[in-house]
């Protein structure tokens, strides 16, 4: 190979290295393969409540972050978790943390969730499930469950504005300002969420 061809190849390799790998969604919640402690949060562009671009990596660089993945504002277990986080927000902020919640909900649905739960922290939309999949948390809702949801008045396509039918397994991460995962809690059983006392203890330990 001639020397003049080496630099273009190195440039291409460097470019590919910074593109986050998007994992295919799992077929069930039990089959997800979440990112591990000690790995870096991928750089994926999200949207804020106004539909504007939200740079997650830049936001995380401002302060250690409690990063919460929830299924949507239609989920009562998620709403209970989000409301519980609001009660712990002052203690987490006193330790220097910010809270960022991520779901497949559209920006319009995020506004409803904030109002319903009186939240004073950040919710962002991953309606295309790019971050959810890159984190290894995404799974595709099966046809039977999807139909049962519709009978119950839950329309995933309306909530996200997309037709992928992907949901995240509920998860909580503590992430430092470099984007490094310091603590994680992931449970395929969407009815079981991280206790506030455990989160506060972990936040103190990994500050």
User: What per-residue confidence (pLDDT) applies to 12?
Assistant: 31
User: How far apart are alpha carbons 118 and 114 in whole angstroms?
Assistant: 5
Contact 180/61 with Cβ under 8 angstroms? no
The dihedral formed by the CA atoms of 140, 37, 80 and 28, expressed in degrees to the nearest 10: 20
Q: Which of helix, strand or coil describes residue 77?
A: helix
Q: For the chain, which domains are there?
A: 22-205 (3.40.30.10)
Q: Which of 14, 19, 57 is nearest to 134 (CA)?
A: 19
CA distances from 188 to 28, 33, 170, 195 (A): 9, 11, 7, 15
CA distances from 155 to 77, 128, 147, 152, 200 (A): 17, 15, 9, 9, 34
Half-sphere exposure of 30 (CA within 13 A, CB side): 0
User: What per-residue confidence (pLDDT) applies to 94?
Assistant: 97
Q: Is the pTM of this model over 0.95?
A: no
What contacts 6, CB < 8 A, 6 or more positions away?
none
Instruction: Give every residue of the chain whose pLDDT is below 50, as ranges.
Output: 1-20
Query: For residue range 76-115, what is the model confidence (pLDDT) as tens digits?
Result: 999 999 999 999 999 999 999 999 999 999 999 999 999 9
């Amino acid at each position: 190979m001639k020397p003049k061809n080496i630099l273009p190849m190195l440039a291409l390799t460097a470019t590919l290295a910074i593109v986050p790998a998007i994992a295919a969604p799992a077929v069930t919640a039990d089959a997800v393969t979440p990112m591990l402690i000690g790995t870096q949060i991928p750089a994926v562009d999200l949207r804020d409540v106004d539909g504007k671009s939200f740079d997650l990596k830049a936001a995380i660089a401002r302060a250690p972050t409690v990063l919460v993945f929830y299924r949507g504002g239609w989920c009562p277990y998620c709403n209970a978790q989000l409301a519980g986080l609001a009660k712990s927000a002052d203690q987490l902020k006193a330790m220097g943390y910010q809270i960022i919640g991520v779901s497949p909900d559209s920006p319009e649905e995020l506004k409803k969730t904030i109002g319903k739960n009186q939240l004073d922290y950040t919710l962002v939309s991953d309606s295309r499930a790019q971050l959810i999949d890159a984190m290894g948390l995404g799974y595709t809702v099966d046809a039977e469950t999807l139909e049962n949801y519709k009978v119950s008045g839950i329309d995933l396509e309306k909530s996200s504005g997309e037709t992928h039918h992907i949901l995240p397994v509920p998860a909580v991460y503590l992430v430092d300002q470099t984007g490094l995962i310091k603590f994680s809690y992931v449970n395929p059983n969407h009815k079981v969420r991280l206790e506030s006392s455990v989160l506060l203890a972990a936040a103190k330990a990994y500050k």
